[in-house]
A and B are shown apart, each in its own frame.
Chain A
């Protein structure tokens, strides 16, 4: 097939062309096409077409194999062909990052729990729960996970620097998780900052810079994903911690509470057109996604026993959907669930994702 096709035509156009092609190639064309489906193991499609076009018989005897050498498909069990939506490309393509290296990549988790007294930043109770969950989760997604606890600003920087100097050639992806107090720092791409246990902060912009294409060539073109659980506001954490029963407010339990559900700005009509968009005049930080527990400048809720809302929901969504959904779709689900959680009364939390990926990310799952 014409390699340029998928760029200039919709699927519907392609389908029309294919049908026209088949119609104009003589009476055996369709049965040859069906035979092609059979040989390449696309049983479900074959059956569907035979059902909808019962008058067309295909003759295995008139096989095209002699004329066109066909690539032998790898054997499929009868069930496998019917899986449908679960089957997805694993190779690097226009739309998907290659994500089949084993292991998939390195994952660094920085878990800041105890801060120096002079900082007056409270102990982040529950953070170890978050840390354990994410360590297990990313191990199950086939990452090599390293955890660092209670790092000062300088140590955060040197860990990230060390990560950027590693050779990632054999990997397909890199993940950084930071659990700490945070503060507001403005930047037009990646605002916000996280605290070292010494009370000095590192901006998120700087954190992402360590792994950009310039500073970490072996991650060029590969997805670099940052998960940041931090209170975005400069205020101290006192009062942000909630007791376990408050942490899981029930939705719709009583009438008063539903009033507090934030009204979504669904009136914003979002363009879904395929037009070429305006371009940034500054070099765009490509292949980077930062997922914040909350928009910088807002508080982030953490339960002292079950951990933070964000990490709990993120972990659950990854567990449930990593095998079938791409990362940005999962983060949309995380947003939805966290904002539902926070719908109770005064508390509101909306995670923020700043997404400069060029393709979809599908994690590896051990099926």
Chain B
């Protein structure tokens, strides 16, 4: 039996991308709190549990995290409220 993985750990999150072809840089995703479940390009935040899929190569993992899961405490602690607010109120493509 493998020892249970702890997704709070950046390296553990990064490891989940080892056999995944993802349009976004794996390290950027892992740093933004995401790990891969191994299904397509879907990723999950270890803290808030929010998932994201259908990535575009231009997407920024932190910005997408802030757009869909603005209440995530990992996001807020790493990027701060001002960042989240800016993303929430920025000019959107409606």
Contact = CB atoms under 8 A, between A and B. Distances in A.
Contact of A189 (B55, B59, B69): B69
Contact of A278 (B49, B64, B90): B64
Interface string B24-60: 0000000000000000001001001111111110111
A284 B83 contact: no
B33 to A, nearest CB: 11
B82 A264 contact: yes
B85 interface: yes
Nearest to B84: A352
Contact of B53 (A279, A296, A351): A279
Given A94-B94, A188-B48, A188-B72, A278 B55 contact: yes
B42 A281 contact: yes
A274 B72 CA distance: 25
B83 A275 contact: no
Contacts, number: 106
Interface stretch (B1-9, B12-20, B73-81): B73-81
Contact of B89 (A278, A282, A296, A335): A335
Contacts of B51: 280-282
A359 B64 CA distance: 18
A333 to B, nearest CB: 10
B86 interface: yes
Interface in A255-276: 262, 264-265, 268, 270-276
Given A265-B83, A268-B86, A358-B94, A278 B71 contact: no
A228 to B, nearest CB: 13
